[in-house]
Structure 1
Amino acid sequence: MASELHETILMAKQERHKNLFLNYRNLNHFPVELLKDEGLHFLERLYMKRNSLTTLPDNLAQKLPNLIELYLHSNNIVIIPEAIGNLARLQSLDLSSNALLLLCPEVGRLRSLRHLRLSNNQLKSLPPEIGDLQFLETLDVSVNQLVSLPNRLHRCSSLQYLSADHNLLSHVPRHLCRLTRLTQLSMAANRLTFLPLDLGGSRELQFVFVDNNLDLKGLPSYLYNKVIGCNGCGMSPQGGMACQESQDEALSEALLGLPAEVKAVASEADNVVPLEELAMRMLHQLYHQQHINPTDVNIPPTIPLPKSLLDLLQFPLGHCHRCTQAMFTVIYPKLFPLRHTALAGVHRRTTVSFVAYCCSSRCLRTFNLQG
């Protein structure tokens, strides 16, 4: 086996191969032949799936500087050296089905990276530096032990596919709603209790999988024609036409997932929005006008505000599903049972209700999922 491996690598050097396949070789250590002399500067793709590697060499980037794709699926790798960040041209890194306990921050230096696969490891957290990967399109961290996702993940402006199935996540970070290119979000089999009200507001996001989150009480109405996986959610089944009492009970259950800052739940009879809410909406409007056109002479100078309040102005707790008005302390909810939505004929056994959140009683009266 050793002689066969030596011949394979020798031929790759002599013929200047760009692709090298070393899968299923029972390798316990990274082949020294790859690192001798000048290494393989011309190698672009290295496949080392289903071996028994436990780590990578520190001089990997020095000897294989032009690697574009590195596949290490199904090994026993526990730690990745900091030098991994020196692979400046790397676009695809597959570390799925290893024994990773920690991911080094230097991964954030892989500025050309487009696909990062870390599924089926033992990761409890991800480094914030992942947010520096502006060209990242695919991130798969499913089947780990993650309790949260990095707050800076929303900086991955090119992200299209995010899978975090089978973790310990209790919520979806609201900042993810800013990922305008995200087309698929999969967070099945976690511990989700609610989803951000704005999730699904982007036209690009078409597939959201939240199966088997048993405490998930409701879904934002933005998702009513996008959600593909929603069976296993926690709403109790209701047969026939639900009476008003059962609808009220379902609505109260769905509202349990709202952020704590939303303290007031208004009804259609309320015609006046509280002064606190109006003030917050006005500050939010001024704040964003200043960022869109800072030279506008009609806009007053920036008002000094506490950082926590500024954060709230940047990320409202929700937007009206009728007119997109930002909402901070009060909402007007409206329940739509699944049978009234586009999913009624798709998920016959699912009883999830969609809750629309409006900014006023007027929007509440005019909001219609069928419109």
Structure 2
Amino acid sequence: MATDLHETIFTAKQERHKNLFLNYRNLNNFPVELLKDEGLQFLERLYMKRNSLTTLPDNLAQKLPNLIELYLHSNNIVIIPEAIGNLAKLQSLDLSDNALQLLCPEIGRLRSLRHLRLSNNQLKCLPPEIGDLQDLETLDVSMNQLVSLPDRLYRCLSLQYLTADHNHLSHIPRQLCQLHRLNQLSMATNRLVFLPLDLGRSRELQFVFVDNNVELKGLPSYLYNKVIGCNGCGVSSQVLDSDLGEALGEALSEALAGLPGEVKVVGLETDGVVPLEELAMRTLHRTYHHHPTELNLVPPIILPKSLLDLLQFPLGHCHRCSQPMFTIVYPKLFPLRNTALAGVHRRTTVSFVAYCCSSHCLRTFDLQG
């Protein structure tokens, strides 16, 4: 086996191969032949699937400087060295099915990276620096132990496919609604209680899967015309038909449970005036976005960081008129059983929720309008 491996690498060096397949080789260590002398300067794709590697060499980028794709699926890798950030041309990195517990911040230096696959590891968090990957198109972090996603992920402006199934996520950062190229979002089998109010507002987002989030009772009405997966959400499928009315009532009453802390008021159809704090935030938001230099006043406007963050990323936008909302929402519930999708999702009892900015928008909103 060792002789065969040596011959394979020797031939790749002599013939200046761009692709090298070292899958299923029972490798416990990274082959030293790959790192001898000048290394493989012409190599662009290295496949090392299903071996027993536990780490990578620090001089990988020095010896394989032109790597574009690195496949390390199904190894025993526990740690990735900081030097991984030196692979300047790397576009695809697959570390699925390993034993990663931490991901070093230097991953954010892979500015050419387009596809990052980290599924089936032991990650409990992701470094904020992952938000520096502005060319990233695919991120798969499913089957880990994540309790949150970094807010800075919204900076991955090219992200199209985000998969985080089978984790411990309790919420999705509302900043992710800023990802205007995101086409598919999969968050099945987590601990989600609510979804961002703006989720689905982007026309590009067409596929959303939140199946088996048992505490999830409400879906933003923006998702109504999307391809959604929500089986296993809300009320248990064991509810008898005779108890369905009561269970549905409980589901509706809980559809707003767990809303972001910024929601200080849930408005009613009879409300005539929006609270002063909300009006002030909307005014500041218009100033901030249309005349940002005017916030640099002397003396400057002093606001808590939480409110400054809220100015940049509103709680949501009215599902009727697109007015930004900050501290109050006017919800309108549409039970799934009353919609055209009721026959598709039989293992769930949830509601579509329209979040409006005023009692007027609340009265005039129509789910199918």
SS in 1 for 2:54: coil
Does residue 126 of structure 2 align to residue 126 of structure 1?
Answer: yes
Give the corresponding residue for 1:99.
99
**Inter-partner Cα distance in structure 2 for 1:324 and 1:300:** 32
**Inter-partner Cα distance in structure 2 for 1:147 and 1:85:** 25
Whichever residue aligns with residue 254 of structure 2, its letter is E
Give the corresponding residue for 1:312.
310
| Structure 1 segment 218-367 matched on structure 2, within 5 A | 218-235=218-235, 239=241, 249-291=250-292, 294=293, 303-367=301-365
Whichever residue aligns with residue 328 of structure 1, its letter is F
Partner deviation per Cα, 1:139-191 (whole Å, 9 max, x = no partner): 11111111111121111110111111111111101111111111111111111
Change (3 A) 1:91 1:63: same
How far is the alpha carbon of 1:248 from its aligned partner?
Answer: 5.6
How far is the alpha carbon of 1:246 from its aligned partner?
Answer: 7.1
Give the corresponding residue for 1:138.
138
Tell me if structure 2 keeps the 8 A contact 1:45–1:67. Answer: yes
Give the corresponding residue for 1:63.
63
Give the corresponding residue for 2:54.
54
**Inter-partner Cα distance in structure 1 for 2:318 and 2:303:** 25
**Inter-partner Cα distance in structure 1 for 2:185 and 2:299:** 40
Whichever residue aligns with residue 126 of structure 2, its letter is L
Whichever residue aligns with residue 121 of structure 1, its letter is N
SS in 2 for 1:336: strand
**Inter-partner Cα distance in structure 2 for 1:120 and 1:306:** 39
SS in 1 for 2:131: helix
- Among the aligned pairs, what percent are the same residue? 82
Whichever residue aligns with residue 128 of structure 1, its letter is P
How far is the alpha carbon of 1:235 from its aligned partner?
Answer: 3.2
Whichever residue aligns with residue 267 of structure 1, its letter is L
Tell me if structure 2 keeps the 8 A contact 1:247–1:335. Answer: no
Normalised TM-score (structure 1): 0.93
Give the corresponding residue for 1:44.
44
Partner deviation per Cα, 1:252-286 (whole Å, 9 max, x = no partner): 21011312221222221222222222222222222
Tell me if structure 2 keeps the 8 A contact 1:225–1:341. Answer: no
SS in 1 for 2:116: strand
SS in 2 for 1:256: coil
SS in 2 for 1:334: strand
Change (3 A) 1:278 1:49: same
How far is the alpha carbon of 1:318 from its aligned partner?
Answer: 2.0
SS in 2 for 1:354: strand
**Inter-partner Cα distance in structure 2 for 1:264 and 1:370:** 26
**Inter-partner Cα distance in structure 1 for 2:91 and 2:234:** 40
Normalised TM-score (structure 2): 0.93
Give the corresponding residue for 2:200.
200
Tell me if structure 2 keeps the 8 A contact 1:128–1:151. Answer: yes
**Inter-partner Cα distance in structure 1 for 2:26 and 2:3:** 14
Tell me if structure 2 keeps the 8 A contact 1:97–1:119. Answer: yes
SS in 1 for 2:255: helix
Cα RMSD (Å) of the superposition? 2.2
Tell me if structure 1 keeps the 8 A contact 2:141–2:164. Answer: yes
**Inter-partner Cα distance in structure 2 for 1:246 and 1:25:** 56
Whichever residue aligns with residue 169 of structure 2, its letter is L
Change (3 A) 1:47 1:242: closer
How far is the alpha carbon of 1:348 from its aligned partner?
Answer: 3.2
Whichever residue aligns with residue 333 of structure 2, its letter is L
Tell me if structure 1 keeps the 8 A contact 2:235–2:247. Answer: no
Partner deviation per Cα, 1:34-77 (whole Å, 9 max, x = no partner): 11111110000000000011111111111100000000000011
Structure 1 runs not aligned, ≥5 long: none
Does residue 5 of structure 2 align to residue 5 of structure 1?
Answer: yes
Report the number of matched residues: 366
**Inter-partner Cα distance in structure 2 for 1:306 and 1:345:** 47
Tell me if structure 2 keeps the 8 A contact 1:225–1:342. Answer: no
SS in 1 for 2:228: strand
Structure 2 runs not aligned, ≥5 long: none
